[in-house]
């Protein structure tokens, strides 16, 4: 079914008729409010002012809370860093003592072994401090390659290990609890290619 649209012929640009002012008798004048209505309006205005003041106070409290939380976050990070550095200072002292001992001219015959033992003790002390903070080594040797924790830098053809197994760890990886800090750099086993025919 076709719709027909009635059109009016255009004779020129359409001009809006000027608005006609309302007839003076047509304007309705509201009667003045009764004392009860006036009292109700005043009560509502007082409640609106009270709500507005409460909103402003709440917004100010929220802004103060945000600023305080940001300050506390920064202060907490500083405290944690300071606590870790205080634990690391003795390790630094021990390294300096080892350096001084290595530079002495009168080294006993067992001086090298003693120095190596001292450095090993310092390393264990440092590892213990880092382990207390949640740092864990990622030992990839002999394990299947896992791209989540390992970074392969090479593949080596070998029949001594299954394909995809880590056969050499070049650099240790570290994680802080479940967060990866540095992947273990590894070499992965690959099946040897057999010569054709």
Domain range summary for the chain, segments of one domain joined by +: 35-133, 134-197
**Beta strands in 63-134, from DSSP E residues, in sequence order:** none
84 CA to centre of own chain = 21
d(CA 109, CA 2): 114
**Record: fold of 134-197:** Nucleotide Exchange Factor Grpe; Chain A, domain 2 (2.30.22)
- C-alpha span between 122 and 125 (Å, rounded): 5
pLDDT of residue 174: 93
Confidence grade of residue 155 (pLDDT, cut at 50, 70, 90):
very high
SS3 assignment, position 166: strand
73-128 pLDDT tens trace: 999 988 888 888 888 888 888 888 888 777 765 656 666 777 788 888 999 999 99
CATH of 35-133, one of 1.10.1740.10, 1.20.1070.10, 3.90.20.20, 2.60.40.4070: 3.90.20.20
């Amino acid at each position: 079914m076709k719709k027909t649209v009635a059109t009016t012929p255009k004779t020129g640009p359409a001009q809006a008729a000027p608005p006609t002012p309302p007839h003076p008798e047509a304007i309705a004048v509201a009667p003045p409010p009764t004392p009860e209505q006036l009292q109700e309006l005043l009560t509502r205005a007082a409640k609106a002012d009270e709500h507005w003041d409460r909103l402003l106070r709440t917004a100010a409290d929220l802004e103060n809370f945000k600023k305080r939380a940001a300050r506390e976050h920064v202060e907490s990070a500083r405290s944690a860093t300071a606590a870790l550095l205080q634990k690391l200072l003795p390790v630094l002292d021990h390294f300096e003592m080892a350096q001084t001992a290595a530079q002495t001219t009168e080294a006993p015959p067992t001086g090298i072994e003693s120095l190596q033992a001292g450095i090993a003790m310092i390393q264990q002390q440092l590892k213990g401090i880092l382990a207390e903070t949640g740092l864990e080594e990622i030992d990839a040797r002999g394990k299947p390659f896992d791209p989540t924790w390992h970074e392969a830098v090479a593949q080596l053809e070998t029949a001594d290990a299954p394909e995809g197994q880590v056969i050499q760890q070049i650099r240790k990886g570290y994680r802080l609890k479940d967060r990866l800090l540095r992947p273990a750099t590894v070499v992965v086993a690959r099946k040897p290619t057999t010569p054709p025919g």
